[in-house]
Structure 1
Amino acid sequence: MRPSSPLARLATDHGDWCVQFPAHGYIKCYAVLSGECWIAVEGGEPVALTVGDCVLLPGGRGFRLGSDLTLPATEVETYWRRKEARNALDTVSPGADVSSGVVPPGAGSNEVTFIGSAFTLPGPQAALLLGTLPPLIHLKSATGQEALRWSLERMEQELREERPGARLMAEHLAQLFLIQALRVYLDRAGPGQVGWLFALSDPALSGIIGALHADPAHLWTVQGLAKRAGVSRSTFAARFKAAVGMAPMEYLTKWRMLLATERLNGGEETVASIALSLGYESEAAFSTAFKRVMGVSPRRYGRQLHLMAAPAAAD
């Protein structure tokens, strides 16, 4: 997935507050270090967060976060501007009444401290992950997990102490936190979940998916994959589809096309060279498969990317 541009922020609030976050193109993560608060994604019910709780927001929906979600919500940009101004005044004149209108005075009242982080997933492969996840994942008392607790504690320390390199350290720790949180989610999701991510919990299917990802140009067959998994062809095909949500060859084709779109984004390779590198004997066969999956031909897809990039290049 190559998550990039990780953001990590430590925040403490008290009193009565409610912040509105717009729809976003990130995976957002929050972990409550002390106190309690509430969160609700658009179209969903409010969820109470207490010490040790973590929440992932992979669906891109807008959401509200606060001590009381029935309060009028402040837009997040306004919230942070007022909060930073208030913090600056606190530094100049500790103890002064510097209420911003976002968090009323009353330090220590309903105080909550949390870490928030956000990641962009620039590759088209992100759809394989985001499509399998609900809009809100609540990991209650997730900090009971040793690895997750360690990354949170280290991230908090880096953000608090602000030593040289602290921002970079926090960004890498945030990536560890994301992976560990997804692992906890997989462990707690239970059987019956469908999607690429959940199939990774099956050792046999995980190995198959890893092989497809590692060598997409190989001349894979269902029979060959079944032999690799150590089961019959029919058993493997049924097991793969039940776990992943699509047939093995359908999944392979989709994976190849996602890789192709990423390489077309680069604009440095010809359609013919991409086709050959992904296991297609001809550009025509590749173009047919690409159009079936993506809805347009690879050349047209490349032209659309060029047109979208032209204004930015002109600027």
Structure 2
Amino acid sequence: MDPLSELLAHLQPQSYITAGFDASGSWALVLDDLAGRIKCYAVMKGECWLSIEKIANPVRLKAGDCFVLPTGCRALIASDLEAEPKLASETLDPNRSGEVVTYNGGGDVFLVGSRFEVEGRHAEVMLQTLPPLIRVEASNDRAKLRLYIDLMMDELRGGRPGASQMAQNLSHMMLAQTLRLYIEDLPEGEVGWLAALADPKLGACLKAMHSAPAHSWTVEELARIAGMSRTSFAQQFRQRVGETPISYLTRWRMMSAAAKLVRGQDTITQISMSLGYSSDQAFNTAFKRVTGQSPRLYARRQKQGAEA
């Protein structure tokens, strides 16, 4: 499985609400429901502003643009940045999934998309490795993404039997395709996990580590895969990803282990062996260093949280 597919598989995003938003006039919504969630939306008609706390300047979105908010940062979306903001959690009723919410009569701006729930502390940690805004601008070569969005809009507006489930399935495809296009079009100098994946040399190393997490990778081996000197590779990897190659490998192993612990299908011994650890003790030590909890405590707390 390739790294992006693995990321989505470990996050296990469940579409919690898939809906449309049709607005007009002056409006502003505070997206106050982002913690532990991913927002993925497309602007189907008109233009609006998106302001995110970790980005200095507001972003102008136009028809055809898609955007993903993966890190839980506070955000504001508005037709007018001076308008009195209202909470999205109150305006966009979560019980109206599969419907189109009309605001101020509608007609000027239309957005469609989903809010995805992700499970577990490991998922939240993984989301923090992504940029606060993932944006794909409108373009003529986005035919597949446009198809998913158009089909979703038809389902939301059509009211046919099974429309809600169809819209949710399409929203997962929209999320994956948006991330894929973002990786393909990343500008030079971008930093982060997706930026490393987009780099041909570093991306090859990430794929190697993900395909064989149990292998005892060394910086020298990874540098050879990248076709770089050990020093250049280590320096470039740290600059693009934000940590050393071995630190990344350990963290990815622990995120994979956390996902398996939540599923509860494997024993700790099976998990530790699948990730290249010679003993449960070595695995337990590494897991606690990364997550702050022992594997058993982590699994128990996640189970209790799911049942609460």
Q: Bin the TM-score by the shorter chain.
A: 0.7 to 0.9
Aligned to 1:22: 32
Superposition RMSD on alpha carbons, in Å? 3.2
- After superposition, what is the alpha-carbon deviation per residue over 1:38-92, rounded to whole angstroms, capped at 9, x for unaligned? 33234654433222222221221333333223222333344246xx8xx99xxxx
Stretches of structure 1 lacking an aligned partner (at least 5 in a row): 89-99
Q: Does 1:247 align with 2:258?
A: no
Q: Give the secondary structure class of the aligned counterpart of 1:189.
A: coil
Q: Does 1:293 align with 2:284?
A: no
- After superposition, what is the alpha-carbon deviation per residue over 1:219-258, rounded to whole angstroms, capped at 9, x for unaligned? 3233333344444444443343333222222211111111
User: Offset at 1:129?
Assistant: 4.9
Q: Give the secondary structure class of the aligned counterpart of 1:200.
A: helix
User: Offset at 1:34?
Assistant: 1.4
Rounded to whole Å, the distance in 2 between the matches of 1:280 and 1:292 is 15
Task: Show structure 1 runs of 4+ deviating over 6 A.
Answer: none
Are the aligned partners of 1:124 and 1:262 in contact in 2 as well (CA < 8 Å)?
Answer: no
Aligned to 2:79: 67
- After superposition, what is the alpha-carbon deviation per residue over 1:164-188, rounded to whole angstroms, capped at 9, x for unaligned? 4433332232222222222333344
Aligned CA distance change for structure 1 residues 231 and 169 (closer, same or farther; 3 Å): same
Are the aligned partners of 1:53 and 1:141 in contact in 2 as well (CA < 8 Å)?
Answer: yes
Stretches of structure 2 lacking an aligned partner (at least 5 in a row): 1-7
Higher mean C-alpha displacement, 140-149 vs 196-205: 140-149
Are the aligned partners of 1:22 and 1:61 in contact in 2 as well (CA < 8 Å)?
Answer: no
Aligned to 1:210: 207
Rounded to whole Å, the distance in 2 between the matches of 1:232 and 1:135 is 32
Percentage identity across aligned positions?
A: 41
- 2:52 partner letter: V
Q: Does 1:11 align with 2:21?
A: yes
Are the aligned partners of 1:240 and 1:248 in contact in 2 as well (CA < 8 Å)?
Answer: yes
Aligned to 1:149: 146
Q: Give the secondary structure class of the aligned counterpart of 2:22.
A: strand
Higher Cα Rg: structure 1 or 2? 1
Aligned to 1:94: none
User: Offset at 1:115?
Assistant: 0.9
Aligned to 1:52: 64
Aligned CA distance change for structure 1 residues 122 and 164 (closer, same or farther; 3 Å): same
Q: Does 1:79 align with 2:88?
A: no
**Equivalent pairs, count:** 292
Aligned CA distance change for structure 1 residues 4 and 160 (closer, same or farther; 3 Å): same
Matches within 5 A, 1:79-228: 79-80=91-92, 103-104=103-104, 108=107, 111-122=108-119, 126-127=123-124, 129-142=126-139, 145-228=142-225
